[in-house]
Amino acid sequence: MGFKMGIVGLPNVGKSTLFNALTKTASAQAANFPFCTIEPNVGEVAVPDARLDKLAEIAKSKQIIPTRMTFVDIAGLVKGASKGEGLGNQFLANIRETDAIAHVLRCFEDGDVTHVDGRVDPVADAEVIETELMLADLESIEKRRANLVRKLKGNDKEAQQQDRLLAAAQAMLEDGKPARLVEVDAEDAKAWKMLQLLTTKPVLYVCNVGESESVEGNAHSAKVAEMAAAQGNAHVIISAQIEEEISQLDPEEAQMFLEEMGLSEAGLDRLIRAGYDLLHLETYFTVGPKEARAWTIRQGTAAPQAAGVIHGDFEKGFIRAETIAYDDFVAMGGEQGAKEAGKMRAEGKSYVVKDGDVLHFLFNT
């Protein structure tokens, strides 16, 4: 499993430029791993992970298959989207299907690129988007609570739980705050997620700066960083213009270009990593002569559920997971060396998979 991130932003903030760079990068990667463009506004890119290349080198794997991340370019948002303005209804439907939201914010000055409100103010732009999502959630909650009245009269426990959670979300939204700030107990977590409220999605602010500001950012991105910290959200600084240029270069040329710009890595790599951190994701590996492959799971995933990411039968018939930590696999020169050094462990159903684990699952068919 990878994850799906929706890219949103007001017109002329660089959202399409960034998405185009992503899809070009993905097309360039197609020779190395299976790539698909699901729709014109959906693209998948490999998650960069140097550990996978190292494992493949040690195991002499014929194929390298990274885990992937899906980006969805969500139709341009305008003020009034919650009421169906512009492509509002489609915007809201698309955003419900994502795991997280990347708000692309204009943090560059350019007289040739007009801003929809005639000014450059990324914090205000973020507030426009957040307000539209909050208004849409409020409208949705009011309708849902009205539809629950009959079930509540019949003392339906599921309806009572749903109404209680909706009421908590409504109170938070009416206080001018997103629903993600509601504190939810573990017993309510599943029901809360099922509500699919827009403002419960984790947010990553993408500060689109000019080429010369791609390393340190600028005054605009500093304000976004301050806002993100206050909200408990994340932010990254990217120059969409640079990303688009890099996407058209081969890997060696791209690396030289980045070094000339004073950058250690592409902004898209930082974006993907920030998204992983935001959603508390991690990676485990399966390695052999045929292929070295990365798999994405949520932090805290037990071994049977991690196996289920590969195939449902692995989870159903799970017996044990032969486990080698990444550092041990590398230090001992591979699986055989790790086994001989006593670094391979047999882990059962209660084992919580750790980031970087190299796993081999045994299961009943």
> What is the DSSP code string of 201-267?
S-EEEEEE--GGGTTT--HHHHHHHHHHHHHT-EEEEE-HHHHHHHHTS-HHHHHHHHHHHT-SS-H
Q: Which letter does DSSP use for residue 13 in this model?
A: S
Per-residue pLDDT, 328: 97
pLDDT over threshold 90, residue 26: no
Average pLDDT estimate for 240-255: 87
Query: pLDDT per residue over 167-225, tens digit each?
Result: 999 999 999 999 999 999 999 999 998 998 989 999 999 999 998 898 899 999 999 99
Distances 172 to 2, 247, 295 between C-alpha atoms, Å: 31, 42, 36
pTM listed for this prediction = 0.81
pLDDT score of 257 more than 80? yes
Q: Do domains 4-278 and 300-363 have the same CATH topology?
A: no
Calculate what percentage of the chain has a pLDDT beyond 70: 88
Render pLDDT for 62-97 as a digit per residue (tens, 0 to 9): 999 998 888 888 765 555 544 554 444 566 777 888
User: What's the confidence (pLDDT) of residue 27?
Assistant: 53
* Residue pLDDT, tens place only, 219-244: 999 999 999 998 888 899 999 889 88
- Cα 237 to Cα 218: distance, rounded to the nearest angstrom: 9
What mean pLDDT value characterizes the chain? 86
User: Which residues pair with residue 358 across a beta bridge?
Assistant: 285, 324
| Tens of pLDDT, residues 319-357 | 999 999 999 999 999 999 999 999 999 999 999 999 999
**Residue that is written with structure tokens 């006593």 in the block:** 342
pLDDT number for residue 89: 56
Distances in whole angstroms, Cα of residue 291 to Cα of each of 5, 30, 45, 65, 212: 27, 16, 19, 7, 41
Q: How far is CA 300 from CA 54, 57, 63, 194, 349, in A?
A: 25, 29, 28, 20, 13
Q: Kindly list the strands in the beta sheet with 203-208, ordered across the sheet, starting from the edge strand earlier in the chain.
A: 42-46, 68-73, 4-8, 100-106, 203-208, 234-238
How many angstroms separate the CA atoms of 175 and 152, rounded? 25
Distance CA 320, CA 213 (A): 50
Contact between 270 and 204 (Cβ < 8 Å): no
Domain range summary for the chain, segments of one domain joined by +: 4-278, 300-363
Q: What is the pLDDT of residue 31?
A: 40
Residue 295 has pLDDT above 90, yes or no: yes
- Tell whether 67 is in a known binding site: no
12 in a known ligand binding site: yes
Residue-wise pLDDT for 261-281, tens only, equals 888 888 888 888 888 888 889
**Among 47, 22, 13, 212, CA closest to 125:** 13
Mean pLDDT of 309-321: 94
CATH architecture of the domain covering 300-363 = Roll (3.10)
Identify the architecture of domain 4-278 in CATH.
3-Layer(aba) Sandwich (3.40)
Q: What is the pLDDT of residues 86-126, one digit of tens each?
A: 444 566 777 888 889 999 999 988 766 555 556 789 999 99
The pLDDT, as a whole number, for residue 110 is 74
| Predicted pLDDT at 136 | 86
The secondary structure of 151-180, three-state, reads HHHCCCHHHHHHHHHHHHHHHHHHCCCCHH
Give me the pLDDT at residue 197, please: 92
Distance CA 309, CA 28 (A): 26
| SS3 label, residue 29 | helix
Q: Is 13 among the annotated ligand-binding positions?
A: yes
So what's the pLDDT on residue 337?
Answer: 96
Lowest-confidence region among 14-28, 44-58, 185-199: 14-28
Alpha carbon 117 to its chain centroid, in Å, reads 29
